[in-house]
Structure 1
């Protein structure tokens, strides 16, 4: 990636211009950048990221968005449409996840937002019971780092449960042994980001009921596709409010809900849990303030576009796309299993991960990157994963995967004695989990924010 993207092609804005530039000129620059960046994922060789990949669908959502882009969803008296959109998005999600009488929810800004709201709700709901003691939640190590972030921000103790290295599902005995009277919630993933596997939600639910704690199911990734995989007979076990003990669910509309980035849902089995995370300030000189979520101003356009995506597709549309994705994911997994040197981790769904005991699997990744594939790297053990989305369902992509993977395995055998070029893209550092690894990642982030997102040096004066 260039340190200063597009600096050699388009003007660099170092300050607010005295006079604005022509709109047509700006739109032409935006069109050029968008077309070039879209050309990569349009090949179908990009894991995750672009969940729909249908420009007609995006154009439809853009038309819905533009009608309400300028509207602030905070001002419901001026834009009652936001109340309609948000209420119906939540209702459709609750229907999909079998929410019972009294189940409620919120629309948030994304998966992290939904997880933050859930952890905050559990902390606040238990505050009186704990009497000032620090609450804790227990998550599988594989559950999303947003739980770690939420606990860090809200002062909640996080207990990370190990997983079974074969199934990649959480160790239930460890969870049971680490619940105490300050535990407010257990976490299960449906499915987890790393391996595409679903934790034993029914067993976690039984444990939560037995010990009197909450159970949050993180369906941010799989929430809007796994229910249709279940309907299609792909062996997806119930993970939603049908499972006794499940008290909240997060599910991203901006992933397999095929909405624009910036929306998710967090759903609660009862109002008391949702209401606990409200913020009130009734003695402010500016008036009585109450915020149902952490965000203040939000664009009504995102609510309108999300609503339009869900209503336009309907169950039949989601089921049709899920059938295509699950079918291609199965074919791509079969290609991996056809090589004795590779091992698929656990029993995955539409997302799968694989490793190798014969060589460093990042050699496979190196070869595939040269063939235009963008996979996600993992660590402990070294592995790579593919999240299958609609772009992979294009004709010929699964066949290209099988052919390129065969070449990658041959390349990895040949280079087994050397060090691969790639690694765990989300932060793996040679040497394992050490202080040096933390320092390295901080340096990477500083480089990204301070240099790559900065401006190129000004040209020298003539």
Structure 2
């Protein structure tokens, strides 16, 4: 103890000696400056929303972008890209004039329906014949007519007012219970409907953030998840001030590395995540291994089944083996599944399910001191579309177990056929082992985006992947129609053979900008032009631009707008 006291006295004498010739204002200034610098360093090193590597790169690139010549060049390129996006929007809309003001007189129902049909018909890809990956999962005319009637009946209902619309709330409760049973939930299994997979994931993250804070005392919650997990988790972290800890995958299986996930767990981990299957490769994480980690460290485990949940739930009955992943597996505490994908319900419906009521309670948002009264809502939205809830409920009733098992059988068989045939084509390979309906394609002999561009010219719309580069197709009901799968395989084979004649070609057409994005080390720049792309979808050209666009398109006979019954109504509008 004497040595410690002696050391402290020595430090005091040394500091006093150094400051003995300083003015009081100088001492105050030095102290304040030191505190500010120390605070900045502390926040930089121990920021709980991003890791040190990402923050360091972002800091360096932000300094570089402040250099005048760099800023000028970057601004020039962003304006160029923005212009390309806006021009592409005009072309995609085939020169149709934009309605930017209310019409002076109301249109008739017939006129409105003609315009709506004209708008919906825009687009270059024939999704009804299976030329699109995922996106629309069912094209059943009888079901569409039923959904139109059901939504019309319930279109103005709102489950927020449960006393006014108890029947819609009953439908939602039944959808949740049916789904909980499909995923082998026990008597305490529960959940809510949401507007889609992203909101389902947001709600799970919100619930576990609050559970961690109020039950376990974790103030800086972290989500540990594979790099292949859906970006909705990153969105949730951004919204709810959580930190994401990404875990690498096995390069062969493309499933998360369980050993690395175990190392990533800390005292701040509030949830572990696995996908069944993941979106990029269609492969599945080791949910059993993740659930075991959750049990060992008392951490909730979320299984993202948004994409394929309504396939995996019926695969055993359809004759396909699948490893445990749902509430039958001890340790799994929540599941997200999209009813508007392979549940075939209209867009805008999903479910978030929990193994126990204690988790769902933390999903709810409640305000007790508002002058308008006590307010509570189960999900992000306050008012919700009762029509969507009714349509989802009606879809479940329409298909029943037998209908879903039959659809699952066709889709999985089609997927396996396409996977088997693609593996026979020299020049490409399949990532991992597809679990349900997604097949990811890569190549070691040419840039795979060349194949995407070539297939695009034949009418196919596939999804690009990055890190590593690839493309994938998500098989839907339309692909299981006679001849569609065979046509896709033949087109891939034909395109690959043509590409292999000149495998070093760099002309990737529309995919070039996507390929360029992957080579930019400063991801904030990629983020900038992604925001520009999103903004372009809200772009409304001026009258002069619209006139010029129409003139340009009419000069090109290949895309000349055909006279339609909608044109007369356009002329009536401002």
Verify same fold: TM over 0.5: yes
Instruction: Note if contact 2:125-2:132 (Cα within 8 Å) is conserved in structure 1.
Output: no
Deviations 1:395-433 (A, max 9, x none): 111111121111111122123111141577996544536
Match among 42, 46, 66 for residue 132 of structure 2: 46
Matched, 1:396 2:489: no
In the other structure, the counterpart of 2:391 is 305
In the other structure, the counterpart of 1:381 is 468
CA distance in 1, matches of 2:440, 2:167: 42
Query: Which of the pair is proportionally richer in helix?
Result: 2
Match among 99, 102, 115 for residue 29 of structure 1: 115
- Name the SS for the 2:288 alignment partner: helix
- The CA deviation at 1:129 is 4.5
In the other structure, the counterpart of 1:439 is 525
Match among 212, 235, 250 for residue 321 of structure 2: 235
Instruction: Note if contact 1:137-1:184 (Cα within 8 Å) is conserved in structure 2.
Output: yes
Instruction: Note if contact 1:4-1:453 (Cα within 8 Å) is conserved in structure 2.
Output: no
In the other structure, the counterpart of 1:119 is 205
Runs of 5+ unmatched residues, structure 1 = none
Which has the larger Rg? 2
Match among 532, 535, 538 for residue 453 of structure 1: 538
In the other structure, the counterpart of 2:420 is 334
In the other structure, the counterpart of 1:268 is 354
CA RMSD of aligned residues (A): 2.0
CA distance in 2, matches of 1:418, 1:32: 39
CA distance in 1, matches of 2:161, 2:541: 40
CA distance in 2, matches of 1:138, 1:266: 19
CA distance in 2, matches of 1:418, 1:160: 34
Instruction: Note if contact 1:360-1:420 (Cα within 8 Å) is conserved in structure 2.
Output: no
- Name the SS for the 1:191 alignment partner: coil
- The CA deviation at 1:132 is 5.7
- The CA deviation at 1:330 is 0.9
- The CA deviation at 1:213 is 0.4
In the other structure, the counterpart of 2:151 is 65
In the other structure, the counterpart of 2:269 is 183
| Greater than 6 Å deviation, 4+ residue runs | 423-426
In the other structure, the counterpart of 2:505 is 418
CA distance in 2, matches of 1:184, 1:266: 17
Deviations 1:223-261 (A, max 9, x none): 111122233233321210011100000000011010011
- The CA deviation at 1:6 is 4.0
In the other structure, the counterpart of 2:193 is 107
CA distance in 2, matches of 1:303, 1:135: 32
Instruction: Note if contact 1:365-1:408 (Cα within 8 Å) is conserved in structure 2.
Output: no
CA distance in 1, matches of 2:253, 2:507: 27
Matched, 1:245 2:331: yes
Aligned residues: 458
CA distance in 1, matches of 2:91, 2:510: 24
Matched, 1:368 2:455: yes
CA distance in 1, matches of 2:518, 2:359: 42
Runs of 5+ unmatched residues, structure 2 = 1-87, 548-574
In the other structure, the counterpart of 1:296 is 382
Matched, 1:145 2:231: yes
After TM superposition, the score normalised by the length of structure 1 is 0.94
Match among 279, 285, 290 for residue 199 of structure 1: 285
- Name the SS for the 1:67 alignment partner: helix
Instruction: Note if contact 2:125-2:459 (Cα within 8 Å) is conserved in structure 1.
Output: no
CA distance in 2, matches of 1:38, 1:70: 33
